[in-house]
Structure 1
Amino acid sequence: MSSTNVSFNADSTSLPLVELVSRLLIQQHINFLPRSNHPTVDDSIIGVLSISSFFAATINKKTTFSLFELLPIPFPYGGIRVRLADMPYIAGFDSNNRNLIKWTKGESTSCDFRTMSVCRETPPIITDWNDTCIFQILTDSTLSLCRTEQYRELIFIHCIGKQWAISINSSTPCHSTFLSSTKQSYAFHNNLRTLPTVALITIPPHTVLICDRFSISAAPLPTGPSLSLLHSSICNTSDTDTIDLYQHLSNSTRWPKLPYISDNFQA
Structure 2
Amino acid sequence: LNLHFIHHKDLPNVLESIISSTNVSFNADSTSLPLVELVSRLLIQQHINFLPRTNHPTVDDSIIGVLSISSFFAATTNKKTTFSLFELLPIPFPYEGIRVRLADMPYIVGFDSNNRNLIRWTKSESTSCDFRTMSVCRETPPIITDWNDTCIFQILADSTLSLCRTEQYREPIFIHPIGKQWAISTNSSTQCHSTFLSPTEQSYAFHNNLRTLPAVALITIPPDTVLICDRFSI
TM more than 0.5: yes
Change (3 A) 1:266 1:17: closer
Structure with greater strand percent: 2
The unaligned stretches of length 5 or more in structure 2 are 1-18
Change (3 A) 1:182 1:189: closer
Counterpart secondary structure, 1:105 = coil
**How far does residue 88 in structure 1 lie from its aligned partner after superposition?**
0.5
Q: Residue 165 of structure 1 contacts residue 200 of structure 1 at CA under 8 Å; is this kept in 2?
A: yes
Alignment equivalent of 1:172, drawn from 175, 181, 190: 190
Alignment equivalent of 1:202, drawn from 199, 205, 220: 220
Q: CA RMSD in A?
A: 4.5
**How far does residue 109 in structure 1 lie from its aligned partner after superposition?**
0.8
Which stretch shifts more, 183-192 or 150-159?
A: 183-192
**How far does residue 40 in structure 1 lie from its aligned partner after superposition?**
3.9
Aligned residue in 2 for 1:266: 233
- Cα deviation 1:125-180 (Å, max 9, x = unaligned): 11110000111111122111111111111111110111000001111111122369
**How far does residue 181 in structure 1 lie from its aligned partner after superposition?**
12
What is the CA–CA distance in structure 1 between the aligned matches of 2:89 and 2:56, rounded to whole Å? 58
**How far does residue 78 in structure 1 lie from its aligned partner after superposition?**
2.1
What is the CA–CA distance in structure 2 between the aligned matches of 1:146 and 1:160, rounded to whole Å? 23
Which stretch shifts more, 40-49 or 165-174?
A: 40-49
Change (3 A) 1:136 1:45: same
Change (3 A) 1:38 1:191: farther
**How far does residue 19 in structure 1 lie from its aligned partner after superposition?**
1.6
Q: Residue 197 of structure 2 contacts residue 205 of structure 2 at CA under 8 Å; is this kept in 1?
A: no
1:26 aligns to 2:44 (yes or no): yes
Counterpart secondary structure, 1:68 = strand
What is the CA–CA distance in structure 1 between the aligned matches of 2:64 and 2:182, rounded to whole Å? 64
The unaligned stretches of length 5 or more in structure 1 are 214-264
What is the CA–CA distance in structure 1 between the aligned matches of 2:176 and 2:203, rounded to whole Å? 29
Q: TM-score, normalised by structure 2?
A: 0.83
**How far does residue 32 in structure 1 lie from its aligned partner after superposition?**
1.2
Counterpart secondary structure, 2:139 = coil
**How far does residue 195 in structure 1 lie from its aligned partner after superposition?**
1.1
Q: Residue 171 of structure 1 contacts residue 195 of structure 1 at CA under 8 Å; is this kept in 2?
A: yes
Change (3 A) 1:48 1:75: same
1:129 aligns to 2:147 (yes or no): yes
Change (3 A) 1:186 1:170: farther
Which stretch shifts more, 52-61 or 166-175?
A: 52-61
What is the CA–CA distance in structure 2 between the aligned matches of 1:50 and 1:61, rounded to whole Å? 32
Q: Residue 38 of structure 1 contacts residue 47 of structure 1 at CA under 8 Å; is this kept in 2?
A: no
Aligned residue in 1 for 2:89: 71
Q: Residue 174 of structure 1 contacts residue 211 of structure 1 at CA under 8 Å; is this kept in 2?
A: yes
Change (3 A) 1:185 1:210: farther
- Cα deviation 1:30-89 (Å, max 9, x = unaligned): 111111266644332221111100011145233221111011111112221011111110
Change (3 A) 1:181 1:150: farther
> What percent of counterpart residues are identical?
92
Q: Residue 175 of structure 1 contacts residue 188 of structure 1 at CA under 8 Å; is this kept in 2?
A: no
Give the total of aligned pairs. 216
